[in-house]
Amino acid sequence: MLVLHGILLDEFDNSELVRSKYGLTDPKASPVLTTFGFGTKIFTPFALIRIDTAWDKYPSGGYSKPQYIVSFGYDW
């Protein structure tokens, strides 16, 4: 547990570290990000193009505006 404490707990336990690191204000800001969304992918003569709509879920509740993302390449 000591090792775990050393590795994990600073930024997870102390939101102030996270806020100052990234310039955030949310008192629940943490190193964790949660995102979700949906998308489609289509073959073109040049590449497999992926078009995604994604949201960032904030730790204090609420969501970001949808992000519209175009990326290239196959599924992970």
Residue ranges in contact with another protein by CB under 8 A: 6-12, 21-26, 29-44, 46-48, 50, 52, 54-56, 58, 62, 64-76
Min dist. Cβ of residue 74 to another protein (A)? 4
Query: Is the separation of the CB atoms in 22 and 15 below 8 Å?
Result: no
Q: Which is nearer to another protein, 8 or 16 (CB)?
A: 8
List C-alpha distances in Å: 63 to 6, 13, 15, 76.
Answer: 32, 23, 19, 25
Cβ at position 59, least distance to another protein in Å: 10
Least distance to another protein from the beta carbon of 35, Å? 3
Of residues 16 and 73, the one with the C-beta less far from another protein: 73
For 34, 39, 46, the CA distances from 71, given in Å and listed in that order, are 19, 11, 13
d(CA 2, CA 34): 27
